[in-house]
């Protein structure tokens, strides 16, 4: 005998057998299907997590953070709710940097918020670790006794690979020398829910940009070039292993509320001028210490002339001027990049909150503003000895004569090794 009932989103099917009654219950809530089969002869529970939307669910769709995070979802709704609370308290226009940070505050109703003074207790969305620092971080997390990391986290095996003779041989050598390290990180990651990118899979900040960064993200990473993610609209900050462990253990992460330095870009890049020349010029203006304790936030019509990867290059090199991180507002170039990296679903969600969450408010104030006309910006060469010694290409010859530098350029062997190229 077979009978069924449906009530409040639950379907119940009763099957009467000769010697038993089997009850099959299906419930759908918040993007999950839960199947329970019970009876006098059978007890079984199966749970299936859906990647996006359950066909039986009437609830709002949950959209995954990335192609690798089937059970971690974009937090835009929560971030917007937190930000609304903070904006009501502060009653002033906010910069983009403030929006991203304040929307991740642990207690938005009560925390002190003052740029350059107060300490924010934040809830980052993600943790990333490179192999050289992940070892101690994972050992510390294991000692916490927690069964699984509290936020999506990944380990990237790139720093222990030394460039000596060539890619294949260097990779093989690294695998041999660091076999125990890689085995530990792989098995520990599998046990505690941490993604593992094996040696040879790529550089940490590039993998993050191509797969994990989303506009409005707050991420900490145990690598100084974590800041690369600002090119896709995320506040991404380099930290030590202990800070990473705090976040993985569900402990609020403390950050002194940074000041915000605005860089207004007008015009557009032309000729041989590249995105890197923008940060080389900014370094010339601010010096290697000029960004200390601050987020560098780029805005203005010139932003749209820069590709997403170009924006990432600029943010990457913000580490050279001591900035906490650097950031660009969400725009069509980021949307294109998300679509090209098979994350169009992220772009669709970002489009919905672009004005309210992912761009600065009109009238937002900065602690300092620099203006650059990209129409007039030349290619630059910076150095020697310090990255803030900038030379426009038109003046390099004159400067070389004045400084007594060699004027003959001889090309022997060239290595392109910068992490931001």
Q: Please give the DSSP secondary-structure letter assigned to residue 132.
A: H
Residues 340 and 197 in one domain: yes
Quote the CA–CA distance of 323 and 302 in Å, as a whole number: 21
Q: Are residues 310 and 349 in the same domain?
A: yes
Q: 285 and 370 in contact (C-beta within 8 Å)?
A: yes
User: Does the residue 394 lie in any domain?
Assistant: no
Q: What angle do CA 330, 331, 333 make, to 5 degrees?
A: 120
Its pTM stands at 0.83
Helix, strand or coil for residue 199? coil
In a domain, 320, yes or no: yes
On whether residue 400 sits in a domain, the answer given is no
pLDDT at 391: 85
**Shortest CA distance to 231 belongs to which of 302, 323, 321, 297?**
297
* Nearest-angstrom CA–CA distance, 123 and 107: 10
- How high is the pLDDT of residue 185? 98
State which H helix or E strand residue 143 sits in: helix 131-143
State residue 415's pLDDT score: 53
105 is a domain residue? yes
* One domain, residues 133 and 45: no
Give me the domain span that covers residue 22: 2-49
Q: What is the mean pLDDT of each run of 10 residues along the chain (421 residues)?
A: 49 46 47 44 30 31 91 96 98 99 97 96 98 97 98 97 92 96 98 98 97 99 97 98 98 98 97 95 93 97 98 95 97 98 98 98 98 96 84 85 79 58 52
Please report where in the chains the tokens 């950050």 appear, as a residue: 255
- What's the number of domains the chain is made of? 2
């Amino acid at each position: 005998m077979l009978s069924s009932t449906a009530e409040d989103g639950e379907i119940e099917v009763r099957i009467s057998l000769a010697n038993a009654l089997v009850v099959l219950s299906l419930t759908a809530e918040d993007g999950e299907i839960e199947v329970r089969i019970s009876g006098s002869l059978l007890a079984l529970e199966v749970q299936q997590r859906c990647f996006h939307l359950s066909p039986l669910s009437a609830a709002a769709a949950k959209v995954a953070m990335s192609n690798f995070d089937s059970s971690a979802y974009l937090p835009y709704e929560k971030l917007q709710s937190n930000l609304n609370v903070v904006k009501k308290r502060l009653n002033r226009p906010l910069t983009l940097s403030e929006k991203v940070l304040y929307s991740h505050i642990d207690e938005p109703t009560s925390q002190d918020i003052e740029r350059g003074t107060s300490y924010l207790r934040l809830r980052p969305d993600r943790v990333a670790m490179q192999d050289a620092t992940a070892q101690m971080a994972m050992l510390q997390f294991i000692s916490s006794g927690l069964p699984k990391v509290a936020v999506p986290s990944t380990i990237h095996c790139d720093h222990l690979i030394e460039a000596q003779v060539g890619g294949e041989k260097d990779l093989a050598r690294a695998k041999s020398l660091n076999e125990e390290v890689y085995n530990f990180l792989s098995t520990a990651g599998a046990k505690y829910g941490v993604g593992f990118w094996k040696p040879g899979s790529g550089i940490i900040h590039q993998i993050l940009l191509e797969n994990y960064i989303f506009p409005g993200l707050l991420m900490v990473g145990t690598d100084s070039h974590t800041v690369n993610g600002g090119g896709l609209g995320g506040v991404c900050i380099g930290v030590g292993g202990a800070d990473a462990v705090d976040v993985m253990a569900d402990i609020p992460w403390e950050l002194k509320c940074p000041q915000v330095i605005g860089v207004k870009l007008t015009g557009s890049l032309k000729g041989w001028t590249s995105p890197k020349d923008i940060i080389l010029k900014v370094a010339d203006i601010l010096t290697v210490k000029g960004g200390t304790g601050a987020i560098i936030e780029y805005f203005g019509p010139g932003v749209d002339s820069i590709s997403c990867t170009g924006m990432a290059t600029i943010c990457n090199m913000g580490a050279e001027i001591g900035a906490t991180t650097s950031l660009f507002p969400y725009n069509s170039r980021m949307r294109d990049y998300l679509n090209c990296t098979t994350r169009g679903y992220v772009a669709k969600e970002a489009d919905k909150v672009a004005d309210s969450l992912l761009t600065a408010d009109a009238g937002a104030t900065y602690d300092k503003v620099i203006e650059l006309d990209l129409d007039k910006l030349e290619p630059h060469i910076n150095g020697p000895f310090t990255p803030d010694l900038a030379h426009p290409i038109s003046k390099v010859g004159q400067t070389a004569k004045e400084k007594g530098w060699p004027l003959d350029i001889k090309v022997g062997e060239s290595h392109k090794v910068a992490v931001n190229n």
